Amino acid sequence: MAGTFLVILACLFWGMDTLIRYPLVERGINPITIVFYEHCVLTLLFSLGLIPAIKRIGELKLADIFSFLIIGGVGSAIATVAFTQAFHYLNPSLVILLQKFQPIVVIFLSAIILKEQVQKEFIFWAVICMIGGLMISSPDIVRFYDLLRSDLSIVTSDGAIRGYGLVGVSVLGWGASTVFGKRLSMVGFDTKSIMAGRFLTGLLVLIPFVQWNQSLILPQGEDYLRILIMVLISGALAMWLYYQGLQRISAKSTAIAEMFFPFFAIILNWFFLGKQLNDWQLLGGGILIIGSLIIQIKKY
């Protein structure tokens, strides 16, 4: 139960991230610039964590290097960029809905790569949790349905197909990041080393995506402080809690616990921005809590 609680607590801090990140993006700041600054700060913050890893360089196996490339280069950098770019081609409601398929990727990869057993009972309760997660996103479902009725071409155009591909990259990237992060903890890497390797690899992969011009200069000096606060909350604290939880529970159980992120994001938007939850969202949150608790109690 402790591992699940840590991941859920990480989701709470990830939810706080939205209160700062989305206003920055809405004001026209390039999302890649935001992510780049995040990785710069986090790499510096966890640079001391690289020391134990440096001592193990001679012991690193190709599988370890590949794992760091997945959690950092793919999960932390490419998947984030792909998810951000998807909003240029798809309705945001559709992007958010498609992201709900990430637990399926984690469950599938954890069975193949980590040899985690996936019991029928786990699948049943995982489906229950996903139903709860979809109910939490009921307003997005309604908006997507209205979109289909008004203009079907918006979701079948060439641009939309590119958007589906980008969302697919983000779903696969973040799902694989959970599995390979678990693998690194299983072979003896501690949380600091994993996080340091993740952010450094992510930073190196991000460099080609960055526009090395005036776009790197933020419009307001306060924006640098906002990013710093966001990094400390959602990058440092939340990721530390997440990897501490991941060390204690299976990757597939972690994927279920991660579904609390949109629930917390909606609750925080309700509390701070006055965006109230409807009955379906509240019911979905209750279903998600019950399903997740049963999975942890039964230790599937």
* pLDDT digit string, tens, across residues 70-108: 999 999 899 888 887 787 777 666 777 777 788 889 999
* pLDDT digit string, tens, across residues 35-73: 899 899 999 888 766 666 666 666 778 888 899 999 999
- Whole-number pLDDT of residue 158: 77
User: Of the segments 60-64, 208-212, 243-247, which one has the largest average pLDDT value?
Assistant: 243-247
- Whole-number pLDDT of residue 113: 93
* pLDDT digit string, tens, across residues 118-176: 888 889 999 999 899 888 878 877 877 777 777 776 667 777 788 889 889 999 999 99
Where are the chain's structural domains? Answer: 2-298
Surface-to-core class of residue 228, CB atoms within 10 Å of its CB (0-12 exposed, 13-18 middle, 19+ buried): middle
Q: Are 243 and 181 in contact (CB under 8 A)?
A: yes
C-alpha to C-alpha distances, 83 to 67, 140, 166, nearest whole angstrom: 21, 17, 6
Mean pLDDT of the chain: 84
Query: Using 50, 70 and 90 to split pLDDT, how confident is the model at 261?
Result: confident
pLDDT over threshold 80, residue 1: no
- Whole-number pLDDT of residue 29: 82
pLDDT over threshold 80, residue 22: no
Q: Are 268 and 93 in contact (CB under 8 A)?
A: no
- Whole-number pLDDT of residue 270: 78
Strands of the chain, DSSP E: none
d(CA 162, CA 97): 16
Residues of the chain with pLDDT > 70, as a percent, come to: 91
Q: Rounded to two decimals, what is the model's pTM?
A: 0.84
